[in-house]
Amino acid sequence: MKKSKEKIIILGSSVFGEEVADYISNIEDYELVGFVEGMHRDRCRKPLLGLPVIWIDDLARFIESCPCKAVCAVGSPKRKDFIQQAISSGLEFTTIVHPAAQVSQTAMLGIGTIISPGAIIAVSTSIGCHNIINRGSLIGHHVDIGDYVTISPGANIAGGSKIGDLCYIGMGAVILDKISIGSNSVVGAGSVVTKDVPPSVQVLGIPARIIKYF
């Protein structure tokens, strides 16, 4: 008997939503059933990739008729509010791991996290909930990543590092081993982080230095 596919809906109808839709198309156990929009209601007027775009206030009614789980395709850590709104509508989340990613069997992945193609997650690493681990990201051994974190394409996080909640790690950034990045902080693209970063700052450069406080 053929196993039924789990229905998935994507929060976000931007170009990244289309990219995550492509990820899902490569996972045999999933069937994409639509998108959810919470900012631009006009996007709900027409289908995306042939699927409905549901306004967030109508989500509860949609999942009542079409039970499904979700991931969030909003690249900024600000996706937290959108996710919480969806949860309050009764939506549950799942974790997406692209078949072209390499994830250690000893790694732990939180609910709602997206692991993109080419990402490598090493031994005994813990990745929290609702994170986006982008294309080609390298996450070393014994790394601890909080919730609502975005790791941009090509970032390299060395072993023993710790990334706090709501951080954004820019494209191609390098974080040396045993470095801590405080919650709500941003590491600029191409930066090399050689010492701990406090919470709620932006760092940039080689070596990375604080350029902004939030």
Q: Is the pLDDT of residue 186 over 90?
A: yes
Q: What is the model's pTM? A: 0.95
In whole numbers, what is the pLDDT of the chain averaged over residues? Answer: 96
pLDDT for 19-46, tens place per residue?
999 999 999 999 999 999 999 999 999 9
Does the pLDDT value for residue 3 go beyond 90?
no
* Pair of tokens at residue 57: 């206030």
Q: Strand pairing partners for 139? A: 121, 157
pLDDT at 2: 63
pLDDT in tens, 76-130: 998 999 999 999 999 999 999 999 999 999 999 999 999 999 999 999 999 999 9
Rounded to whole angstroms, the Cα distance separating 165 from 183 reads 5
The residues carrying an active-site annotation are 141
Instruction: Compute the distance between CA of residue 189 and CA of residue 141 in angstroms, rounded to an integer.
Output: 22
Q: Which of 211, 173, 179, 214 is nearest to 194 (CA)?
A: 179
Select from 142, 137, 133, 130 the least CA-distant residue to 179. 142
In the chain, the domains with their CATH numbers are 6-93 (3.40.50.720), 96-203 (2.160.10.10)
* CA 114/CA 12 separation, integer angstroms: 14
Neighbours of 81 (CB within 10 A): 11
d(CA 214, CA 209): 15
Encoded amino acid at 95, one letter: T
Distance CA 168, CA 145 (A): 11
Instruction: Evaluate the omega torsion of the peptide bond into residue 207 and state whether it is cis, within 30 degrees of 0.
Output: yes
Which pLDDT value is given to residue 59?
Answer: 96
